[in-house]
Structure 1
C-alpha cells in the first residue's frame, strides 16, 4: 500500500504539463512535520518550474537540478520538532499596553477591561409615580472580581490548539412595568447572564516569525427581553515576529446618557477603548523574562 501511494505521487509529478519543465525528481523523508503542513509553506518559495506533492511524512519534489539542494535546505529548516510556546494575551487600550511596557510582567490597571470571568454586584431599581410619567429604572453598578487581570498566559505546543476565554456578567431587567389607576408601577427584578468571549489559537513558528490562526468565540446579550444569549464565531490569521505584540482587533465606544427622577436630572458620559493583543514567545525564554 505504501508503495502504491508513493507510485501515485510520482506519477502525478511525472505527468507532462506546459508549465512544469523540471529535470529531476526527488523523494524527501520528513522527520517531524507532515507534508500537509509543509506544502503550503514551501509552495510560495518554489521556482516557477518546480512542482511539489506529498502525503504523510513524504515529500516528492520535481524541480531543476540546481534548485533541488535549495529546496532540501528549506525543508530541513521547516521540518523541525514542535516547540513549547508561551502565548500572552492583553486586553485594553494601546495606551495601557504602552504604559505597561512590552515586558511580560504587565501591571494591573484598575478600572480597565480585565481578562477572566467577572462577578456583578446587586443592581438598584426605582419607579415614577404621577399619571403619564415615565418610570425610570437604573442599575447602580457592576463589579468585577478583584482577582481579574488584564493579562492571560498559557503554554501551548507549536501546532496545537488552545482556548483563551474572557467574559463578564451582564445585568438585564427581569421585573415588570404596568399602569394602574393612572399610575405607573415598576416591580424590581434584575438578573445576570455570564457571557463568554474567547478564541482558539494555533501558533506556528517560521524562523523568527510566528503565524497564529485565530478562531474567535463570542457570546453577547441579545436585544430584547429574557436574557437570551447570541453566539458568534469567525476565523482569521495574524502574522508577526516572535516576542512582538500583534493587535487582533477591538472597539472604541462613546456613550452619553441622561435620566430624570423626582425632579433631579443626571447625565453621564462614558468612553471606552478595548482592544485585544497577542504575543508569542518561546516558552523557555518567555519564562525567564517573566521571573
Structure 2
C-alpha cells in the first residue's frame, strides 16, 4: 500500500516538473543584483530565478516566464540621469523685553530726586537658506558635504646617503557634515538611501570624531522630501534691584531633498 502512495506522488509530480522550462536572458543595461531581487517575489511556487555574468536564469512555466519577461522589459532600461538638490533652512527668532530705573538722590537741605524709567520690547528675526546640488546616475551614489578644510601639520623623514632629511608642511583635511545619497526609482517614485556623516575636530590632538547613520525615505520625483529637522527654544530671565529683562529665543532647522530627472 505504501508503494502505491509513493508511485502516485511521483506520477503527479512529473507533469508539473515537465511543464517548467529553463530560459536565459541577457541583460543590456542593468546588473544582476538590481534585477533578481525585483523578479524573485514574482516567481511561481516551485520556480526559481538567479543570475550570473549579466544573465538572468529563469526556471518556471512558460506562462510565468512570459510574465517575468514583461516585467524585465520595464526594468532593463538605461539608467536615468538624476540631479539631487539639498536645501538647508535655518530660521531664528528672539524677543527681549524689560524695564530699568535710573537716577540720583541728593541728600541734605534742598536735595533733589531724579528718577527715570525705561521700558523696552524688541523682536528680531532672521532666516538663512543654503542649497546644493549633485548629479548622479540612477542606482549610483553621491556625496554632498558642508564644512571647511582644516590645516594639519605633516612631518616627513627621509633617510638618504647624507643622513636624514626632515621636511615639514601642512596638509588639509575636510571637516564637516555631509550626506551619502543613493536614489532608486520605480516609475515616478524615488526611494533614497541616506547615510549622514558628522565630523568634529579634536582640537590640538588632531584627527576628528566621526559619526555615521543610515536611513531611507521615499517620495515622488520633483517633490521636496523632508529629511529631518530640529527646534530649540531658550528662555532667560534677569532680575536686578532696579531692572528686569526676559529673553526668549527660537531656532528652527530643517533639511529637504528633491530628486529630478535630467532629460
Which sections of structure 1, spanning at least 5 residues, go unmatched?
Answer: 1-19, 93-110, 114-147, 170-193, 285-291
Residue in structure 1 matched with residue 189 of structure 2 by the alignment: 209
Contact persistence 1:199–1:216 (CA under 8 A): yes
CA deviations on 1:60-109 (whole Å, 9 max, x unpaired) are 112222111110111111111111111111223xxxxxxxxxxxxxxxxx
- Structure with the larger strand share: 2
Residue 220 of structure 1: how far off its partner (Å): 4.7
Q: 1:258 to 1:241 in 2, by over 3 A?
A: same
1:38 aligns with 2:30: no
Residue 274 of structure 1: how far off its partner (Å): 1.7
After TM superposition, the structure 1 = structure 2 runs for residues 210-229 of structure 1, keeping only pairs within 5 Å, are 210-220=190-200
Residue in structure 1 matched with residue 10 of structure 2 by the alignment: none
1:80 aligns with 2:85: no
- TM norm structure 2: 0.60
Which sections of structure 2, spanning at least 5 residues, go unmatched?
Answer: 1-15, 93-127, 150-173
Query: How many residue pairs get matched?
Result: 190
Residue in structure 1 matched with residue 110 of structure 2 by the alignment: none
Task: Detail structure 1 runs of 4+ shifted over 4 Å in the superposition.
Answer: 224-229, 258-261, 263-267
Residue in structure 2 matched with residue 55 of structure 1 by the alignment: 52
Relative contact order: is structure 1 or structure 2 higher (C-alpha 8 Å, sep ≥ 6)?
A: 2
Residue in structure 1 matched with residue 169 of structure 2 by the alignment: none
Residue 244 of structure 1: how far off its partner (Å): 2.1
Q: Considering only CA atoms, is the larger Rg found in Structure 1 or Structure 2?
A: 2
Residue 204 of structure 1: how far off its partner (Å): 2.1
Q: 1:260 to 1:37 in 2, by over 3 A?
A: farther
Residue 32 of structure 1: how far off its partner (Å): 0.9
- TM norm structure 1: 0.55
Q: 1:259 to 1:53 in 2, by over 3 A?
A: farther
What SS class does the counterpart of residue 88 from structure 1 fall into?
strand
Q: 1:45 to 1:272 in 2, by over 3 A?
A: farther
Distance, in Å, in 2 between the alignment partners of 1:236 and 1:40 is 20
The Cα RMSD (Å) is: 3.7
Residue in structure 2 matched with residue 235 of structure 1 by the alignment: 214
